């Protein structure tokens, strides 16, 4: 028997990742506080995902304590029936929290993409696509929260009766949530890649930025493992799993916790940069925003460059980097001054009134300021 069907394995997994996910979520908000960054939708949805994960871990410990998770099913049918109702309610609650946790984690990732790529009054295709993804993931989450409550009939699942177990089509539900969850994970993972590769950057930088977003591959690996296990259980069917339903339920709980934990940790990974390397995630965010803004300034249909727009928006006596970089900032498509150091040296750029003249001296001054940061 493997760790995924043993009480010790399930308890170790739940306890370890409960501490790890809690730590990464706390670090995320500590980083926001220290950097005076705005708490936005990606943070709120991540907090909800963590609440859901705490519920998943608590239910796993509860199942272990009551003996229906992590142990072999008793041969005495009276013992099985004694905990049947408690087991059913716990597993239905687990299914509801699984959908909530998975959904909130996906929404946090999509809102993080919007925090970086969707700013300013101008809307592009990526802006609309992410809105569609928000609606799609929200609908998916609500659907798979409601379905477990109605598997045995409208709102009858909570009053589940072991004598009517055949009326509850759990296997169709398992197949539906497992396959759709995997497909959504892949879609959310690759969502920002076309946007990144359309930016005016070198190939090396595109690969580097893509790798930052592909950290979530660890979560996709857990999602794949969970899909494989679920398909095996579905292939066995009710008759094949009837010999020991406790073992199958333990595997379902084990891999759901594994996937949820990996996704939460992966998405919160950038929060560790501030404490480990002293590099705030917002600095990387500003740099990517600046690249996007500068890239849009070179489009043929642009009447002014991004730098020109920033100059016009800056009030007299204020620095260009005084504007708030949050999604709610009134000046959202400005270029942060320190990020200008990423630009190649420009010999000369002449313009009329209200236009910045950029030369090597300006770049040298910005580089000096960047070093002080």
pLDDT number for residue 123: 80
Q: Do 241 and 186 reside in the same domain of the chain?
A: yes
Cα 116 to Cα 354: distance, rounded to the nearest angstrom: 28
Cα 146 to Cα 107: distance, rounded to the nearest angstrom: 18
Helix axes 170-190, 217-241, angle to 10 degrees: 170
User: How many domains are there within the chain?
Assistant: 2
Cα 114 to Cα 118: distance, rounded to the nearest angstrom: 5
**pTM score over 0.85:** no
Q: Do 173 and 293 reside in the same domain of the chain?
A: no
Domain termination residue (choose one: 237, 252, 276): 276
Q: Do 39 and 8 reside in the same domain of the chain?
A: yes
Cα 213 to Cα 226: distance, rounded to the nearest angstrom: 22
CATH number where 205 lies: 1.20.1070
Q: Structure tokens of 168?
A: 């509850």
Q: Do 238 and 357 reside in the same domain of the chain?
A: no
Q: Do 333 and 351 reside in the same domain of the chain?
A: yes
Q: Which residues of 282-293 are buried (b: 16+ CB within 10 A; e: fewer)?
A: bbbbbbbbbbbb
Nearest to 128 by CA among 109, 114, 142, 112: 114
Nearest to 245 by CA among 18, 8, 72, 38: 72
Domain termination residue (choose one: 211, 243, 276): 276
Which helix (H) or strand (E) segment is 145 a member of? helix 125-146
The predicted-structure confidence for 234-247, as pLDDT tens digits, reads as follows 887 766 666 778 88
Q: Do 159 and 239 reside in the same domain of the chain?
A: yes
* Residue ranges making up the domain that contains 296: 281-372
Q: Residues 267, 43: contact at Cβ < 8 Å?
A: no
Q: Do 205 and 254 reside in the same domain of the chain?
A: yes
The predicted-structure confidence for 43-83, as pLDDT tens digits, reads as follows 999 999 999 999 999 999 999 999 999 898 888 888 888 88
Q: Given the structure tokens 């084990």, which residue do they identify?
A: 254
Cα 105 to Cα 266: distance, rounded to the nearest angstrom: 10
The predicted-structure confidence for 173-200, as pLDDT tens digits, reads as follows 888 999 999 999 999 988 988 888 887 7
Q: Do 115 and 222 reside in the same domain of the chain?
A: yes
Domain termination residue (choose one: 210, 242, 276): 276
Residue 318 has pLDDT above 90, yes or no: no
Determine whether 81 is exposed, middle or buried from the number of CB atoms within 10 Å of its CB (0-12, 13-18, 19+): exposed
Q: Do 251 and 296 reside in the same domain of the chain?
A: no
Q: Do 321 and 216 reside in the same domain of the chain?
A: no
Q: Do 292 and 252 reside in the same domain of the chain?
A: no
Q: Do 316 and 251 reside in the same domain of the chain?
A: no
| Secondary structure of residue 52 in the 3-state scheme | helix
Residues 6+ apart with CB under 8 A from 118: 126, 127, 130, 327
């Amino acid at each position: 028997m493997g760790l995924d069907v043993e009480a010790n394995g399930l308890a170790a997994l739940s306890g370890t990742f409960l501490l790890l996910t809690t730590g990464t979520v706390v670090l995320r908000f500590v980083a926001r506080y220290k950097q005076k960054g705005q708490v936005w939708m990606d943070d709120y949805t991540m907090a909800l995902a963590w609440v859901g994960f705490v519920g998943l871990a608590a239910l796993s410990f509860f199942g272990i304590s009551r003996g229906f998770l992590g142990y072999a099913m008793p041969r005495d049918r009276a013992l099985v029936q004694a905990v049947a109702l408690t087991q059913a309610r716990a597993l239905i609650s687990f299914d509801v929290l699984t959908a909530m946790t998975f959904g909130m984690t996906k929404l946090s990732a999509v809102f993080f993409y919007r925090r970086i790529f969707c700013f300013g009054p101008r809307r592009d295709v990526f802006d609309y696509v992410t809105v569609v993804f928000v609606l799609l993931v929200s609908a998916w989450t609500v659907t798979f929260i409601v379905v477990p409550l109605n598997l045995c009939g409208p709102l009858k699942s909570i009053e589940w009766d072991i004598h009517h177990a055949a009326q509850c089509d759990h296997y169709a539900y398992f197949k539906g949530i497992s396959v759709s969850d995997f497909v959504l994970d892949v879609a959310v993972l690759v969502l920002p890649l076309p946007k990144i590769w359309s930016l005016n950057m070198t190939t090396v930088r595109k690969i580097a930025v893509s790798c930052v977003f592909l950290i979530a591959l660890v979560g996709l690996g857990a999602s794949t493992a969970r899909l494989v296990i679920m398909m095996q259980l579905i292939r066995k069917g009710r008759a094949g799993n009837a010999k020991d339903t406790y073992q199958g339920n333990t595997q379902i709980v084990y891999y759901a916790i594994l996937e949820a934990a990996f996704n939460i940790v992966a998405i919160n990974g950038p929060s560790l940069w501030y404490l480990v390397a002293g590099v705030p995630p917002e600095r990387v965010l500003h740099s990517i925003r600046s690249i996007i803004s500068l890239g849009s300034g070179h489009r043929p249909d642009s009447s002014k460059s991004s730098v020109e727009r920033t100059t016009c928006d800056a009030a007299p006596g204020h620095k260009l980097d005084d504007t708030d970089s949050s999604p709610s900032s009134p000046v959202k498509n400005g270029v942060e001054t320190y990020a200008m150091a990423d630009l190649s040296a420009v010999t000369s750029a002449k313009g009329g009134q209200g236009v910045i003249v950029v030369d090597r001296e300006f770049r040298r001054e910005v580089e000096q300021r960047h070093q002080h940061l």
